[in-house]
Amino acid sequence: YMDLFACLQSCSLQLRTRVPCHGEPKTCPMPEVPSNGGLACVTLSNTRYCKPMCNHGYDFGFPRMTRLYEDCSDGTWSTMYIGGNKLAVCNKTPFAFVGGSTAYFPEAQDCSTTLANSQLKTKILDDFIAELRKHGKDGEAQHTCLVCG
């Protein structure tokens, strides 16, 4: 029975981390979720915002200090990667320094751990919405989700 229980827990976690998080507008495709990290996403005023985040021990391929999130309102993501839905890549590194301070999951709390804990997940999403509001993004927060790579 223990093997079955362990299998069910593992399968449940895999399903939760692979759940698509589509939102409005429907013309915006679901972006690629970075391996070794995740995406926090929300819709405000018919614009979809997603914030790439890397797990501890990983960092972004491009500097993201001033690009805390990407947005989509017309079917195209505002990404630095050309021709696609890739918003970020999380590369293994001993030092993380090219993203903003909130762009990383804490050392003992990777994306999957965060997703499995409703309080941790809510904090990540609430912090992201607060960042958007600080940058003048208004509207009711809808279709919030956290998805892991």
Please state the three-class secondary structure of the chain as a single string: CHHHHHHHHHHHHHHHHHCCCCCCCCCCCCCECCCCEEEEEEEECCEEEEEEEECCCEEECCCECCCCCEEECCCCCCCCCCCCCECCCEEECCCCCCECCCCECCCCCCHHHHHHCHHHHHHHHHHHHHHHHHCCCCCCCEEEEEEEC
Supply the pLDDT for residue 101: 86
User: pTM of this prediction?
Assistant: 0.83
User: Quick one: which of 67, 68, 86, 77 has its CA closest to 47?
Assistant: 77
The CA angle 89-133-135, to the nearest 5 degrees, is 65
**Which two structure tokens, joined as six digits, stand for 134?**
């600080």
Q: What is the pLDDT at residue 117?
A: 96
Return per-residue pLDDT of the chain as tens, 149 residues.
444 434 334 443 433 334 457 677 788 999 999 999 999 999 999 999 999 999 999 998 887 777 889 999 989 999 888 877 999 999 999 888 888 889 999 999 999 999 999 999 999 999 999 999 999 999 999 999 999 99
